A and B are shown apart, each in its own frame.
Chain A
Amino acid sequence: MSEVATPSKHAALATRITDACAAQGVVGNGNPQALAALESLPYPTTRQERWKYTRVTRLLDIEPQATTSGPLPEPVLAGLDAHVLTFVAGQYVDGEILDEGPDGCFVGPRSVALERYPNRIPAHPTDGFATTEWFAALQSAAPQDGGCVIVPAGQRLERPILLRHHMPSGTGVAQPQHLFLIGDGATAEGIIWSDSATEAAGLLNGAITANVGDGADFTLEIVQDESGELHHIGHHHFTQGANSKLTVRTATADAHWLRNDLHIVQDGVHADSTFHGCYLPNGQQFVDHHTRIDHANPDGRSDELYKGLAADRSTAVFNGKIMVHKDAQRIEAYQSNRNLLLGEQAAMYAKPELEIYADDVRCSHGCTTGQFDREALFYLRSRGMTETAAHNLLVQAFLAEVLDGFREEIRDYVHAVYARRLGWS
């Protein structure tokens, strides 16, 4: 199971990627700490606990090509009334910029925000992983453009924000950085949409960073619908203030090779986090969801639900970590991971972890991997359904618990993608 990368090979990869990103255009300066970390950090191998099931040796050979500017991709969620910003390969191409001045809301690309309001946004919106994980350091060393949403204290954005990132054909590399700054008591809803061309075969090493202020309410829906042979590593980092409410839903509709690292830090008391996700790899796809929540303050609550199924010869990975820090008392944390294995050669690796350093807590996790419920299947078959139809209905019912949480447009879209891929309908 072990793979060892020679130091020169991954150093060369880092140089190729940072050069390619610089050639396409980066936003702001790279994070100096991440740059330093990049020099010293080892390249992930399956001998490292966090990369035990995720092989990244194949990425060492990526030769980033300059992305050609083709026609704009077809719009997504066309019926949805939202601020839409479109990015292609880490560059801003089109969208509706909202700028209410230095004290108001701002929705636009990060490049524009940095130009207009350099003091309002952090220079390096990254997380602790940027100095401890090789790919996160790489992203932070050469961050490209992405959406920037600033909602000042007490304000509310009525329309949702749709930040769409598209990877064009070829072996291009992009490292977009999306940023949400939700002020104290503010409310906003965001959608991050990631898709790619059918001939895409490069690397998307992107980051989403959100700082949610005290008493704020922020909902983010992440949709990953990537065709082709794109490799995607996502670094999703959320910091929550006291009494804030955060909801993150991630739907992996389609992905050739995907690793998501979701990290939530409850930085204030009485924070409430909900994070749900679903995935459905088939063929030879690989989908890996790593999540971690840090209950760093008392009286927090978290609810995690990840459901998925692995068909054909695909591999799904779930690793969820609940970390309750010392003195973070009266925490309620629930984690649930349910999986269905449908393919004879499919594999599911689950690792639901609890690390608890406070005593007055209520934490639980449950994890199951299994098959269809035989009795349910029999019931449907006895009502005259074909076996395929019965399977499909059960899969839909299984995923509904997660999918129904999304806004209707997204739910229907993801459902349609799943239906197409598994041959329902």
Chain B
Amino acid sequence: MSAAEENPLLDEFTRKEYEFGFTTDIDADTLAPGLNEEVIRIISHKKNEPEWMLNWRLEAFRVWQTMEEPDWAHVQYEKPDYQAISYYSAPKSKAPLGSLDEVDPELRATMDKLGISMEEQKRLSGVAVDFVMDSVSVATSFKDKLAELGIIFCSMSEAIQEHPELVKQHLGTVVPVKDNFFSALNSAVFTDGSFCYIPKGAKCPMELSTYFRINEAGTGQFERTLLVAEEGSYVSYLEGCTAPQRDENQLHAAVVELIAKDDAEIKYSTVQNWYPGDAEGKGGVFNFVTKRGICETRAKISWTQVETGSAVTWKYPSCILKGDGSVGEFYSVAVTNNAQQADTGTKMIHLGANTHSTIISKGISAGNSQNSYRGLVQIGPRARNARNFSQCDSLLMTDTSGAHTFPYIETKNPTAHVEHEATTSRIGEDQIFYCLQRGLTEEQAIGLIVNGYAKEVLNKLPMEFAVEARKLLTISLEGSVG
């Protein structure tokens, strides 16, 4: 009996293809590949940006030229040719969009396929969505309703036009241009992203959401997200991403900056499902992202991420706990299958007194993939009574995958309490046996076990996202037990 006959479900899912691998045939306005000052001027001009923004970009480009691509991460890939990437691609729209109804029908169809039916969301879930395709924001819903509370939620380009003082004041303050190779590149060429401003004391009544999609071939996506939560405000923000299936590697180098002023709280959730490449590791997205938040006094930033996509991931959502009593949290599930490689984790930088941080990281490695946790916990000399708890667990599904842990724990204050623990083990045969015995299929059993393993993280996701993330986890791993 062949393997397929023996377990048809397993066979089906092993061959299951990336379900978001379609492309959308939309007229796009795409710049020829290559990167130089002229390209940056064109981008800035196309976006009708003010002089200061152009200068900021040019300065970033000059800095970027002096930097080298980092190679310390536990991933191996052929470095992208930065001159072969097109740095601007926008779905061509005939006229400025007045309302959602005017969005290109093809684009609407794409959103529907991705499950972002704006109309429906508007009515049912109360989630405000900003949709970014090939680095350009194409639609934002619920804007008016948010404006009543003084909340600004719009695309970055719009923010630069309409709220230049806010952008100028905060852009690059958390992730400076010179921070790293990819942040400098992003600063030079970012084309769009989301901007969100929550005024003092406002509690954002709905989840804000951005959906990122790379559509055009040969393009990179460089979006920039800036989220400012003024004193005592609260916001929950969701981010999702997909890309079409292509043989070549596509680059995604985003920067996300969060600013939580005194007593503010930001909850930032990501479900990352970029195209991971095929089973042999051909194609897929290089996900090189810099995400960082800064917490003022008693502020709280919570990062939750479910990482299932991308060929190579290099991502460390971090918190700078600057204010006394501030709190940072990081909850992550990273799944790698086939030839995927992930080097992801967080940095918790405790500067203020009585700062607390929690890190829960769950790695799942299947196929021939390599999955690394890399995290820094730094307690500064003035961070009295700082607390950190880190737990990094790895689950191995096959004997050809790898699970690695690289924590850095730097303590410079004797009153600090830092705890780190990590375990690595195989998916329990006894657990699978138990489930099989109760009549579950192996696939169902694995889905159940993995979801249970990742429960601590999944529970932190907002409702709509949690359902999606659970499905995603199961799909990413089906047929992967060795």
* A residues lining the B interface (CB < 8 Å): 49, 326-327, 329, 339, 341-371
Contact = CB atoms under 8 A, between A and B. Distances in A.
Contacts of B425: 361-363
Contact of A356 (B396, B407, B416): B396
A345 B413 CA distance: 7
Contacts of B421: 364-367
B351 to A, nearest CB: 15
A349 to B, nearest CB: 5
A356 B394 contact: yes
Given A362-B425, A371-B414, A351 B406 contact: yes
Given A359-B399, A360-B399, A369-B418, A341 B413 contact: yes
A359 B482 contact: yes
Contacts of A343: 414
A372 to B, nearest CB: 10
A252 B72 CA distance: 31
B253 interface: no
B417 A371 contact: yes
Contact of A359 (B398, B405, B414, B420): B398
Interface string B393-425: 010111111111111111111111111111111
B408 A351 contact: yes
Interface of B: 72, 74, 379, 381, 394, 396-426, 482
A360 B428 CA distance: 10
B412 A365 contact: no
A346 B403 contact: no
A212 B11 CA distance: 48
B414 A367 contact: no
Dominant secondary structure at the B interface: strand
Given A362-B425, A363-B424, A364-B422, A354 B404 contact: yes
Given A341-B416, A351-B409, A365-B405, 5 more contacts: A347-B412, A349-B408, A359-B397, A359-B398, A367-B409
Nearest to B385: A371
A371 B416 CA distance: 7
A392 to B, nearest CB: 16
Contact of B403 (A345, A347, A356): A356
B374 to A, nearest CB: 10
B414 A352 contact: no
13 contacts: A49-B72, A327-B399, A339-B411, A344-B381, A346-B412, A348-B412, A349-B411, A350-B420, A354-B403, A359-B396, A360-B426, A368-B419, A369-B379
B420 A352 contact: yes
A351 B404 CA distance: 13
B417 A370 contact: yes
B423 A370 contact: no
A370 B418 contact: yes
A360 B400 CA distance: 11
Contacts of A344: 381, 413-414
A364 B405 CA distance: 10
Contacts of A365: 405, 420-422
Q: 3 tightest CB-CB pairs across the interface, nearest first?
A: A359-B396, A341-B414, A350-B409
Contacts of A350: 407-411, 420
Nearest to A364: B423
Q: Which of B399, B411, B418 has the most CB of A within 10 A?
A: B411
Contacts of A367: 407, 409, 418-421
Contacts of A339: 411
Nearest to A48: B72
Contacts of A351: 406-409
B402 A355 contact: yes
Contacts of B411: 339, 341, 347-350, 369
- Looking at A346, A360, A369, the one whose CB has the most chain B CB atoms below 10 A away is A369
Contacts of B419: 366-368, 370
B399 A358 contact: yes
B420 A370 contact: no
A335 to B, nearest CB: 9
A355 B405 CA distance: 6
A288 to B, nearest CB: 13
Contacts of B408: 349-351
Contact of B404 (A327, A353, A359): A353
Nearest to A52: B408
B416 A352 contact: no
B172 to A, nearest CB: 22
A61 to B, nearest CB: 27
A206 B29 CA distance: 65
A354 to B, nearest CB: 4
Contacts of A348: 409-412
Given A344-B414, A345-B381, A356-B402, A363 B409 contact: no
Given A327-B399, A359-B396, A359-B401, A353 B423 contact: no
Contacts of B482: 359
A88 to B, nearest CB: 38
Contacts of A341: 411, 413-414, 416
B422 A354 contact: yes
Nearest to A348: B411
Contacts of A346: 412, 414
A71 B429 CA distance: 66
B476 to A, nearest CB: 17
A353 B406 contact: yes
Nearest to A347: B412
B399 to A, nearest CB: 4
Given A359-B397, A360-B399, A367-B407, A354 B416 contact: no
Nearest to B389: A368
Contact of A361 (B379, B396, B404): B396
A370 B415 CA distance: 7
A292 B482 CA distance: 29
B460 to A, nearest CB: 24
A327 to B, nearest CB: 7
B423 A363 contact: yes
Nearest to A359: B396
A360 B420 CA distance: 23
B59 to A, nearest CB: 23
A136 B248 CA distance: 43
Contacts of B409: 348-352, 367, 369
Nearest to A372: B414
A353 B412 contact: no
Q: Which of A49, A348, A359 has the most CB of B within 10 A?
A: A359
Nearest to B410: A349
A63 B195 CA distance: 59
B416 A370 contact: yes
A215 B417 CA distance: 42
A364 B414 contact: no
The winner among B401, B408, B410, B414 for most chain A CB atoms within 10 A is B414
A184 to B, nearest CB: 30
Contacts of A356: 394, 396, 402-404, 424
B362 to A, nearest CB: 14
Interface centre among A327, A367, A371 (most CB of B within 10 A): A367
Given A363-B423, A368-B419, A329 B399 contact: yes
A421 to B, nearest CB: 18
B415 A359 contact: no
Contacts of B412: 345-348
A346 B397 CA distance: 42
A329 B426 CA distance: 11
Nearest to B370: A357
A372 B269 CA distance: 37
A350 B409 CA distance: 5
